[in-house]
């Protein structure tokens, strides 16, 4: 499999420097297998502001279905859980600041080759782009200063595929869970595809997450598991959990992976789910949950 990288540093439609609320759109050509899209930010000022602070929500669409929603900060968190080498990059070069942030579709940290081949790339349909969204489209909210420029690269795998067959696809859903009291429940996790991982932020008001219980169908997978216990578990699997020092409002506090040993077999397929979150004091506000799943759309 050979990777093609194109096009040459193209501008992103809709991005206007100096506009604090510009909505950019990336459109992917028809009939290709996209492994990743990398955003590149160049600023003529050395040590410029972080790209993560300039880009807000990033939404990925296929066939008019939004299959990924996360901010730039949340995307970087998801990436670097799997190793610091996947974190966004920032460096000074010839007096400029260059920064790179990647949306991975073909995830290099997948354990089994079968999963990498079938579950972590996104296929653009063969009927061509139209304004109704029947292709791959990435929209992002960005505030690019006058000294900077934001471009992108698309990485495409040269591989013959039967585009008429359903293709498994990595999806990320962002949920808002109402926080109330020291224990609160949530029953509406996505059941489209298999769950690979769940990532929780501390409440937007009071409270810090201290433990989680999770049930899929009739099986309890986490039974009042504390942050420290999950930190120890993920560290032993060479994953990078949120730091135990993350006790601030809205910071990532608790993450776990169902596919920690075999992504193909151990990702969780469940029709009904129950999530209980325990906090150190009576909580209020919302808990943001990023739910990672894989499945055909």
22 C-beta neighbours (distance < 10 Å), count: 17
**DSSP state letter for 11:** B
The pLDDT tens digits for 182-209 are 999 999 888 777 888 899 999 999 999 9
Domains of the chain: 2-165 (2.60.120.730), 171-296 (2.60.120.730)
Q: Give the predicted TM-score (pTM) of the model.
A: 0.87
**Three-state SS at 97:** strand
Cβ atoms of residues 61 and 140 within 8 Å: no
CA distance 155 to 4: 6
The pLDDT tens digits for 73-85 are 999 999 998 888 9
Calculate the CA dihedral of residues 214, 288, 14, 124 and round it to 10 degrees: 0
Phi, then psi, of 85 in degrees rounded to 5: -70, -15
CA angle 203, 207, 209 (to 5 degrees): 75
Calculate the alpha carbon distances from 114 to 32, 111, 127, 165, 250 in Å. 19, 9, 27, 16, 36
Phi, then psi, of 131 in degrees rounded to 5: -70, -5
The pLDDT tens digits for 15-36 are 888 887 889 999 887 667 788 8
């Amino acid at each position: 499999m050979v990777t093609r990288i194109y096009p040459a540093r193209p501008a992103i439609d809709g991005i206007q420097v100096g506009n604090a609320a510009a909505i950019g759109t990336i459109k992917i050509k028809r009939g290709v297998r996209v492994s990743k899209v990398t955003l590149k930010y160049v600023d003529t000022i050395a040590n410029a502001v972080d790209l993560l602070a300039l880009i807000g929500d990033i939404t990925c669409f296929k066939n008019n279905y939004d299959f990924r929603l996360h901010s730039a900060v949340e995307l970087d968190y998801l990436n670097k859980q799997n190793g610091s080498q996947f974190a966004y990059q920032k460096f000074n070069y010839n007096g400029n600041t260059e920064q790179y942030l990647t949306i991975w579709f073909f995830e290099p940290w997948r354990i089994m080759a079968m999963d990498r081949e079938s579950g972590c790339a996104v296929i653009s349909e063969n009927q061509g782009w139209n304004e109704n969204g029947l292709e791959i489209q990435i929209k992002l909210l960005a505030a690019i200063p006058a000294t900077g420029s934001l471009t992108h690269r698309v990485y495409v795998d040269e591989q013959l595929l039967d585009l008429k067959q359903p293709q498994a696809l990595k999806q990320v859903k962002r949920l808002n869970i109402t926080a109330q009291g020291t224990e609160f429940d949530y029953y509406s996790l996505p059941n489209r595809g298999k769950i690979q991982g769940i990532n929780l932020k501390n409440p937007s008001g009071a409270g810090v997450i201290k433990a989680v219980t999770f049930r899929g169908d009739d099986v309890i997978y986490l039974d009042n598991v504390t942050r420290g216990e999950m930190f120890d578990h993920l560290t032993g699997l060479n994953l990078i959990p949120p730091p135990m020092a993350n006790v601030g409002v809205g910071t990532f506090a608790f993450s776990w992976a169902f596919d920690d040993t075999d992504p193909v077999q151990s990702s969780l397929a469940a029709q009904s789910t129950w999530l209980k979150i325990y906090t150190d004091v009576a909580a209020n506000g919302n808990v943001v949950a990023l739910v990672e799943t894989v499945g055909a759309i």
